[in-house]
Chain A
């Protein structure tokens, strides 16, 4: 039973339609048999999905994005987990500063970080290199892992750790056998959230990619500013599908509502 009146519910329906409309339209147009962007009125066709596979540049960009997101999310997790444990477990001067520093890429516009990294990479002579692009992504997605791991590390019961420590477990055994299993949902959720954010990133990437390292969102952005045909809708529909699958996995391992609204 809802406590909302009819006026509130119609407002709610409008908001839901507003949020869903552009995504639904993209998915429908992707199946058009026509040459122009139109709703598939005379039947569904997969021709624009086939068209993607004839574009080697789009396929390359897709793999670039996939590898980039995978490696960057993994590296971000590797540096965020120890940092999260340092911040939650240890008292030391500068702890708050480090916490703020590691979360700051959420607040600093990606545009500013993009031009800043462009300058650094140009001075180093490495702009457009896949390695440095990956490190740039690590910086902007680390906060997402950090937040989830901190939340997980605060919530756990420390008695098990203290017991293992008093029984003579080494620091590494303690982490691997006791701490890691307990914070694992936060680590896995953080990794997935970092993966999605890296896969979607466009504003920073556009400054620090070269034609051979272009990521899928950058390729799509450039393509959409030049020409618009239904292939763009087909690529978008695939991106939506991929995001949906990742979100379902994220929901299973961590809980989507916990990731989105930070409920514990």
Chain B
């Protein structure tokens, strides 16, 4: 069947998706294209955006200026560490949850996942109460006779709050892939004399690899572009990419530079995701092929 007649036959499908398509074209594709164009525009502090002159200087500055370079580097090591912590905490937790009895399993699953639905501003505020200079943790330390520790406005505060926000995004996919694991496979391996560690490595781990991979991608992507957490817990000094974009747009008013950083963030994010995906997928296929 030719493409034209296929399209004609699918007429009703197009009709039904038309409202959404119009909405997404006007408010997603067009603005993204405009931002890409904006990132090549010249900016002048006197006259603002010069939308008829184009340059690569914004990208050059992001790549060479040590200020931007450092912020990208910081954003990526913080996101990588958050991702690692989410794997280390989330994967065992999902496994423990899956081994629980019926009432407890759903109760704890909901308890651990529901913070996901509570505004991130509220959660960041909660952590600032705990980690502040005279916050509850420092009050506890002082009550025990210790010296207060500076935690708020340090990478520590940003990382711990990001782990709190991202953990559900790791637990959900790992949990979903654990649901597909046949408990009989574990028992069979155990009854054949495999140690618990060996069962983990050879039976459980390969099964949850796809879930872990998608969790890693989501957590890394969301951490690298997170705004409210570094904004509230990182303070004025500890900038991440998203807070710098905010500064460029709303205080420096240098929109082309802000657009450049936003586009760079989107590109680096996609690049990391694609290469990580390829790398892990390759290894995963190899393991299955053996």
* A residues whose Cβ falls under 8 Å from a Cβ of B: 1-4, 8-9, 11-12, 15-16, 18-23, 25-26, 29, 37, 39, 78-80, 82-83, 85-87, 89-93, 95, 98, 101-102, 104-105, 107-113, 115-120, 123, 135-136, 138-139, 142, 196, 199-200, 202-203, 206-207, 217, 220-221, 224-225, 228, 232-233, 236, 239-240, 243, 246-247, 256-257, 260-263
Q: Which of B25-62 contact A (CB under 8 A)?
A: 27-32, 34-35, 38
Q: Apart from A22-B129, A101-B28, A139-B27, what 5 extra A-B contacts exist at CB < 8 Å?
A: A82-B20, A83-B16, A115-B258, A221-B121, A263-B176
A21 proximity list for chain B (CB < 8 A): 126, 130
Closest CB pairs A-B (n = 6) = A92-B10, A22-B126, A90-B13, A109-B225, A116-B31, A86-B16
Among the interface residues A86, A108, A111, A260, which one has the most CB atoms of the partner chain B within 10 A? A111
With contacts A19-B164, A85-B16 taken as known, whether A120 is within 8 angstroms of B93 at the C-beta atoms is no
Determine if B106 and A257 form an interchain contact, defined as CB atoms under 8 angstroms apart: yes
- Report A-chain residues with C-beta under 8 Å of the C-beta of B145: none
B93 touches A12 (CB 8 A): yes
Q: Classify chain B's interface size.
A: 35 or more
Interface membership of B266, Cβ < 8 A: yes
Cβ-neighbour of B227 out of A2, A12, A111, A136 (below 8 A): A111
Verify B19–A79 contact, CB threshold 8 A: yes
Residues of A within 8 A of B35 (CB): 112, 115-116, 119
The contact sample of 9 A-B pairs, CB cut-off 8 A, is A9-B96, A86-B16, A90-B10, A101-B29, A102-B17, A115-B249, A116-B34, A217-B119, A260-B172
On chain B, the residues within 8 Å of A139 by CB distance are: 23-24, 27-28
- In the bound complex, how far is the Cα of B231 from the Cα of A98, in angstroms? 34
| Chain B residues, CB < 8 A from A138 | 23, 27
Could you tell me the distance between the alpha carbons of A199 and B21 in the complex, rounded to whole angstroms? Answer: 24
- Given A119-B35, A120-B31, A243-B118, A16–B108 Cβ distance below 8 Å? yes
Q: Are B106 and A120 in contact (CB under 8 A)?
A: no
What residues of A have a CB within 8 angstroms of the CB of B176 in the complex? 261-263
Main secondary structure of the interface of B (DSSP, over half): helix
Q: Across the interface, which residues of B come within 8 angstroms of A257, CB to CB? A: 106, 109-110
Q: Which residues of B does A touch, CB under 8 Å?
A: 3, 6-7, 9-17, 19-21, 23-24, 27-32, 34-35, 38, 89, 92-93, 96-97, 99-101, 104, 106, 108-130, 132, 135-136, 161, 164, 167-168, 172, 175-176, 179, 221-222, 224-225, 227-228, 231-232, 242, 245-246, 249-250, 255, 258-259, 262-263, 265-266, 269
**Is B118 a contact of A23 with CB atoms below 8 Å?**
yes
CA distance A228 to B233 in the complex (A): 12
CA distance A22 to B118 in the complex (A): 11
Chain A residues within an 8 Å CB radius of B9: 91-92
By a CB distance below 8 angstroms, the chain B residues around A117 are 27, 31
Tell me the complex Cα distance, A110–B246, Å.
12
